[in-house]
Amino acid sequence: MGIHMSSRSRSITPNNPPARRGPTVAEALSAAAHRLERAGVDSPGRTAEILLCHVLQWDRLRLVLQRNMTLPHSIHQRFTRLLQRRLQREPLQYILGETEFYGLRLRVRHGVFIPRPETELLVEEALATARSYGLTHLRILDIGTGSGCVALAVAQHCPHASVIGVDVSVTALSLARQNARKLGLSTVRFHYTDILRALPPGKPFHIIVANPPYIPVTELPHLQPEIRLYEPPSTLTDGLDGLAFYRRFAAIFPHLLFPRGSFLVEVPAGAATAVAALFQPIAASLHIRKDYCGIERIVIGTLATDSTSCPSTVR
């Protein structure tokens, strides 16, 4: 004899599985921070917060206040994908597609050097030099502009200056122009120039700033994975001893600057004295600025009126 089930009894049996539940904000952050720490990523807790804030489009305060909120499954999936990229040591700036530099929010992308906090000192010194001129219209050149970070930061604070940024990377120049449009800085122009082989347009200049590739090629294998695996080698090294660009600068700055014009170059730790020595034949004066960690970071010089015979001083 068969068993007959009424329609009423069949309706009691659930047909749909329960909705998939994601972790809470606190649970997701804790798990992510643990994985990042095991992978050797710096600041794992803060990194996890930045990634989740990016996915949720929240600020950190809201993240703290909503720690017990359950994350939708789709949000948690997106967070996990970004987390996996960071676990593979991809730089956080590339993952987010942006970074902050000297108070500016800049786009960044693969194939372009990521602006560094220590380079903000180059901007600070360039602005101090610009103020010392007391001129309404200055001509400023940024060599190796990359994302445009230095050129744009200088232009933001010197609205009456004419700023030109040059680079050998078409990808970098495209990004720099995007950043200029985004910030509304129409006084900055960007040009393709291979500075090792040609001179940029717009000379002469009152001020030249540069943060060239300066890592000796022998040091590349020892760099952090974030740098070694993801950033373009051409933005890191000259392929030689790290001084090739400075030698080139010493040769061309007299042809690019007004008499008594100024130049400011970022240098690697431990190389400031060697770089300054390269500029001695063309400089009326030189000095070295330490960064806030006490590292000699910026070589600043004034072009001699007669760059072939004027003595130099280093202080």
List, by residue number, the catalytic residues: 113, 211-212
Count CA within 13 A, CB hemisphere, residue 22. Answer: 18
**Quick one: CA torsion of 157, 162, 167, 171, rounded to 10 degrees?**
70
| Cβ–Cβ < 8 Å for 141, 192 | no
- Report the largest interatomic distance among the alpha carbons of the chain, rounded to a whole angstrom: 117
**Residue 101: its H or E element:** strand 98-101
Structure-block tokens of residue 172: 């970098």
Q: How far apart are the C-alpha atoms of 36 and 20, rounded to whole Å?
A: 25
**What is residue 143's three-state secondary structure?**
strand
Could you give the CA distance from residue 102 to residue 141 in angstroms, rounded to a whole number? 18
Contact present, 152 and 185 (Cβ < 8 Å): yes
Distances (CA, A) of 260 to 41, 66, 187, 195, 200: 46, 58, 24, 22, 19
Helices then strands, each counted (H, E), the chain: 12, 9
